[in-house]
A and B are shown apart, each in its own frame.
Chain A
Amino acid sequence: MVQRVETTRANGSAAGEVESVLIRVPAHKDYLVVVRSALAQLGARLGYTVAEIIDLRLAVDETCCLLIGENPPDGPPRGDLECRVRVGPGTLRIMVCASAADVRPPDRDGFGWKVLTALVDSLTWVRDGSIARVEMEKRHSPLLR
């Protein structure tokens, strides 16, 4: 099982202020801790509050679980789960994708989806051919001083 965590520092000019982090792990429950911890650490570095980090982490964890889908928890992972994070000023834009083969699309009118959207600032579900993707953004509240 390959597990890769890459950090890419964009060269300023191309993508403006945005830096990006790419995390790719086997699409298996056991690896979720890598993804959600990385996101939490990024949030901490960017000055998020505990509550914001907890919500971000929950949203990422649930999203990954959705995308890992019906993969049997005891079997080998089928394919990879990729999490791309764009680190902007005061915001994290997160794209998580995996093979759509085993993924049941979320019920976007359902209560569960509403709960998830309420934890972040934006949330989108995309089915792109054989790839299922969830995009979300979590901004941190401006500090009142």
Chain B
Amino acid sequence: MPGRSARPESVGPPESADRPDRGRERAAALDGLRRLAALERDHPERSALREYVIGEYMSYARYIAGRFQHRGESPEDLEQVAYVGLVKAVDNYDPAYRTSFLTYATPMIAGEIKRHFRDTTWDVHVPRRLQELSAALRPAEEHLNQTLGRDPTMTELAEHLEATPEEIVDALEAAAVYSTASLDVPVTQSDGEGATLGELLGADDPAFGMVVDRETLKPLLADLGERDKRILLMRFFRGMSQADIGDELGVSQMQISRLLTQILGRLREAVER
């Protein structure tokens, strides 16, 4: 069919394009849903049927997840959360609702994703006062640096922000990367798509073969953020695997891999300059 691209009839997930029998499949999935709703909870056929129906709608869940991309969460993580929403929708859908399954499932899946963002965004964990202080820290530091001609001490910062030094330390703790909550996950870069096999396996970080001593490292590290320093230490000092670091910081191993590649690349560049 030269000059013509196959377009799906329905506004669904893009993969329906290369699946001509999509309509029939959807009918089968709908039928599955209806039968599922009618089956007793402990019916022997239930789990196989449930799996089938979930499998049928997974691409739709991925499609919804795709609409939430570029908010700093990895696509894989988003999809996992979307699947959780889908499973809930399949388990709770009742044809007696007289709405189509997708009408019912869409807000459920989206709701699951939104809840995920809410839970992994620190504002649920950190009191408002600390959040505000935390956000004010950096600008205050810069301002004082300008007026004093050097980095301010914590006491000076506290005075400037009309807080106690204790509060400033707490705000620092809140902003630090000791928990999932505050890890500011970088938005996946457009060129970050081509993860290498090594990254996927998390096997080898770009070997840090260069000769670097403490005095060379010092100014380089000073330019790194706290998160980056911490990831470096977890990986190379404690010898944790990328997957374990990801677990501890609440992000995927892929993201840790990307971050490490970025950090090491920057260090290497600076050393070789």
Contact = CB atoms under 8 A, between A and B. Distances in A.
A41 B155 CA distance: 11
A34 to B, nearest CB: 11
A66 interface: yes
A91 interface: no
Nearest to A54: B226
Interface stretch (B124-132, B185-193, B209-217): B209-217
B214 A118 contact: yes
B247 to A, nearest CB: 10
A57 B152 CA distance: 18
Q: Which of A41, A104, A141 has the most CB of B within 10 A?
A: A41
Interface string A34-56: 00110011011101111101110
Contact of A53 (B169, B214, B217, B237): B169
B151 A49 contact: yes
Nearest to A39: B169
Interface residues of A, number: 38
A114 B267 CA distance: 13
B151 A50 contact: yes
A112 B235 contact: yes
B232 A112 contact: yes
Given A41-B166, A47-B154, A50-B172, A119 B238 contact: no
B47 to A, nearest CB: 30
Chain B CB count within 10 A is highest, among A43, A49, A66, A141, for: A49
Overall SS of chain A's interface = helix
A51 B222 contact: yes
Contacts of B168: 44
A118 B154 contact: no
Interface in B221-239: 221-222, 226, 229-230, 232-239
Contacts of B4: none
A114 B271 CA distance: 14
Contacts of A43: 154
Interface in A55-114: 55, 57-58, 61-62, 65-66, 104, 106, 110-114
Interface hub of A48, A112, A140 (most chain B Cβ within 10 A): A112
Interface string A120-145: 00000000000000000000110110
Most B CB within 10 A of own CB, among A37, A66, A115? A115
Contacts of A45: 155, 165
A41 B213 CA distance: 30
Nearest to A73: B248
B123 interface: no
Nearest to B205: A111
B214 A44 contact: no
Contact of B153 (A41, A47, A66, A116): A47
B52 interface: no
Nearest to A107: B239
A33 interface: yes
Interface of A: 33, 36-37, 40-41, 43-45, 47-51, 53-55, 57-58, 61-62, 65-66, 104, 106, 110-119, 140-141, 143-144
30 contacts: A33-B173, A37-B170, A41-B166, A49-B153, A50-B152, A50-B172, A53-B172, A57-B176, A62-B237, A65-B238, A66-B238, A104-B239, A106-B237, A111-B208, A111-B236, A112-B232, A112-B233, A112-B235, A112-B237, A112-B238, A113-B237, A115-B217, A115-B221, A115-B232, A116-B233, A117-B214, A118-B218, A119-B221, A119-B229, A144-B149
